[in-house]
Amino acid sequence: MDEEPPDKKIVLFASLTILLIIGYYLPVNSENLLELRLKREDTILEDRLGLIQENTLLPVVSPVYFEVDILGYRVITAYNSLEQQTDDTPCISASGLNVCETEKEICATNEFPFGTRLLIDGKIICEVQDRTNSRYSYRIDLLMDEYNDAITWGRRTLKIGLIK
């Protein structure tokens, strides 16, 4: 007579089963977290999650809001700080900034003054610190660390905005 009614056992069994299933499919470890792509400060605007403690997820970066004037579409290409792609001082941009030692996302364009921050495709924030060849007056060139990344990027036409 010490036994609980069968319906309570079924409810308890079902509850434990559901918890085990949820625990199996939603474990938190470094293999199933969103890839944390924080290459550079203020470069990619998206939700990021980080491992704080085992089985604990907390936001690492809170949303950042900017006032942006949408300017339309531009051709966006990529380059590297190599003599073949720049000049004989590939680490020094047209503004004088040493791009090999900065954490900023750098871009080159003739359209905007140095220090202008641009939002590209709603995801990438770059700062104008370099210039393109004069024949590319409305092109934006993103500086990338790796040659293969620049090749993979290729040539894209994307929406840009001016961050105020």
Every domain of the chain and the residues it spans: 68-163
Q: Identify the bridge partners of residue 85 per DSSP, sorted by sequence position.
A: none
Please indicate whether residue 98 or residue 41 has the higher confidence score (pLDDT).
98
Contact in structure between 140 and 125 (CB atoms under 8 Å): no
* Domain covering 68-163, topology: Barwin-like endoglucanases (2.40.40)
Which tens digits make up the pLDDT trace of 125-148? Answer: 999 999 988 888 889 999 998 889
Q: 103 in helix, strand or coil?
A: coil
Least confidently predicted of 19-28, 82-91, 120-129, 141-150:
19-28
Least confidently predicted of 42-51, 52-61, 73-82, 101-110:
42-51
Alpha carbons 87 and 89: distance in angstroms, whole number: 5
Q: Is the pLDDT of residue 108 over 90?
A: yes
Q: Is the pLDDT of residue 85 over 80?
A: no
**Beta strands 68-79 and 139-143, pairing class:** parallel
| pTM exceeding the 0.75 threshold for the entire prediction | no
Among residues 139, 134, 128, 132, the alpha carbon closest in space to that of 162 is found at 128
